[in-house]
């Protein structure tokens, strides 16, 4: 990987399909400049107490927003249990565009063309932000250092319960550089898209009673985000950052070959029941930084 694409404090496993672009400094020559601009933007929004939503578009979102039964977008798998004719896909498509900032993985060459296929208006230069920034700033723990005492999480209830248990261990708090997460805003681990209005209401109730000191929410909620997230800044004044699998990292179940996750240490609990956790693509067999806590 060329130095152009390094994020301080994070390591990246370069897949075979990424080698051509990540070894080419001219593929995205302004990566470092844009990374600093992104950090400055988030810091400024928090300092000025301005609400904003950042949403990521990935390959799974492409399938979901096109109503195609593939991977996480397949009915019965994760996002929904009902068939696509039972949910309002145009509503999700429109909801995505109601967010304030749009992120996409630049180092996965197929993702930007897929985003532009659905949203051609986002092809204009400067309309998107590399999602790699969000991944890398979780793995490097920059978000935690920068916004200590101001961070809440939004994600599957089972994963947030696990994070709560991890945060009782001083070694883990020291690793993150945090004393606490202010809020744990829960959604269903599976099938949150079946009745999106119920999911919105569930999150709304929690945000209305959330810690007033929370200014930044890191979230990973799956495909329901397209119609959920744009509502949230209007409910609680905060910045909502789509860190996706970063929530898995905080829960100690992040695949090290995910973007900018190769240097992350997964902390796990010795006697915890992990059977109830949706592990996505995590495989302990290739995790050489796994650390078990009592």
**pLDDT value at residue 281:** 60
Mean pLDDT of 261-279: 93
Pairing type for strands 128-130 and 101-104 reads parallel
Alpha-carbon dihedral sign for residues 249, 253, 258, 264: positive
At 30-81, the pLDDT tens digits run 999 999 999 999 999 999 999 999 999 999 999 999 999 998 899 998 899 9
Q: How far apart are CA 13 and CA 22, in angstroms?
A: 11
* Residue 280 confidence class, pLDDT cut points 50, 70, 90: low
| pLDDT-derived band at 287, boundaries 50, 70, 90 | confident
Region 90-115: mean pLDDT is: 97
Give yes or no for residue 282 having a pLDDT over 90.
Answer: no
- Structural tokens at position 191: 């099938």
**Whole-number pLDDT of residue 63:** 96
Ordered by start, the domain boundaries in the chain are: 3-293
Query: So what's the pLDDT on residue 289?
Result: 85
104 SS3 class: strand
Tens digits of per-residue pLDDT, 224-245?
999 999 999 999 999 999 999 9
Q: What is the pLDDT of residue 288?
A: 76
279 pLDDT above the threshold of 80: no
Please answer whether residues 47 and 38 qualify as being in contact, where contact means their C-beta atoms are separated by less than 8 angstroms.
no
pLDDT tops 70 at residue 285: no
Could you tell me if 287 and 256 are in contact, meaning their C-beta atoms sit under 8 angstroms apart?
A: yes
Per-residue pLDDT band for 93 (boundaries 50, 70, 90) equals very high
Q: How far is CA 258 from CA 26, 79, 107, 250, in A?
A: 23, 20, 12, 14
Positive/negative CA dihedral, 30, 35, 36, 38: positive
Residue with tokens 């070959």: 257
Q: What is the pLDDT of the chain when averaged over all its residues?
A: 96
What DSSP assignment string belongs to 106-172? TTSTTHHHHHHHH-GGGGSTTSEEEHHHHHHHHHTTHHHHHTTTSEEEEEEHHHHHHHHHHTTSHHH
- Residue 2, pLDDT above cutoff 90: yes
Is the pTM here over 0.95, yes or no?
A: yes
Up-side HSE of residue 118: CA atoms within 13 Å toward CB?
22
Q: Rounded to whole angstroms, how far apart are CA atoms 215 and 237?
A: 7
Residue 180 pLDDT > 90, yes or no?
yes
pLDDT at 118: 98
Cα–Cα distance for residue pair 115/128, rounded to 1 Å:
10
Beta bridge partner(s), residue 267: 291
- For residue 218, pLDDT beyond 80: yes
Does the structure show a pLDDT above 80 at 5?
yes
Q: Quick one: average pLDDT of 242-257? A: 96
Alpha-carbon gap, residue 174 to 222, rounded angstroms: 28
Between residues 178 and 288, which one has the greater pLDDT?
A: 178
Euclidean distance between CA atoms 277 and 189, whole angstroms:
8
Contact between 191 and 240 (Cβ < 8 Å): no
């Amino acid at each position: 990987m060329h130095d152009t694409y390094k994020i301080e404090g994070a390591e990246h496993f370069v897949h075979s399909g990424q080698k051509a672009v990540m070894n080419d400094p001219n593929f995205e020559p302004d990566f470092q400049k844009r990374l600093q601009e992104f950090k400055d933007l988030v810091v400024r929004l928090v300092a000025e107490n301005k609400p904003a939503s950042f949403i990521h578009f990935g390959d799974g979102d492409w399938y979901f927003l096109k109503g195609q039964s593939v991977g996480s977008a397949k009915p019965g798998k994760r996002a929904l249990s009902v068939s696509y004719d039972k949910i309002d896909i145009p509503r999700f498509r429109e909801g995505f565009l109601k967010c304030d900032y749009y992120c996409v993985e630049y180092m996965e060459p197929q993702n930007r063309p897929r985003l532009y296929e659905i949203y051609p208006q986002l092809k204009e230069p400067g309309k998107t932000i590399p999602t790699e920034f969000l991944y890398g700033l979780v793995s490097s723990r920059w978000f935690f250092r920068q916004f200590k005492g101001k961070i809440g999480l939004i994600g599957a209830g089972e994963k947030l319960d696990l994070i709560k248990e991890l945060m009782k261990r001083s070694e883990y708090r020291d690793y993150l550089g945090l004393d606490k997460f202010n809020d744990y805003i829960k959604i269903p681990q599976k099938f949150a898209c079946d009745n999106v209005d119920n999911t919105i209401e569930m999150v709304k109730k929690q945000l209305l009673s959330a810690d007033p000191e929370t200014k930044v929410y890191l979230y990973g909620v799956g495909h329901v985000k397209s119609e959920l997230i744009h509502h949230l800044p209007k409910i609680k004044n905060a910045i909502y950052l789509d860190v996706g699998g970063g929530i898995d990292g905080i829960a100690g179940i992040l695949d090290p070959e995910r973007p900018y996750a190769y240097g992350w240490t997964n902390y796990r609990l010795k006697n915890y029941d992990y059977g109830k956790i949706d592990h996505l693509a995590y495989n302990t067999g290739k995790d050489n930084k796994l650390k078990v806590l009592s």
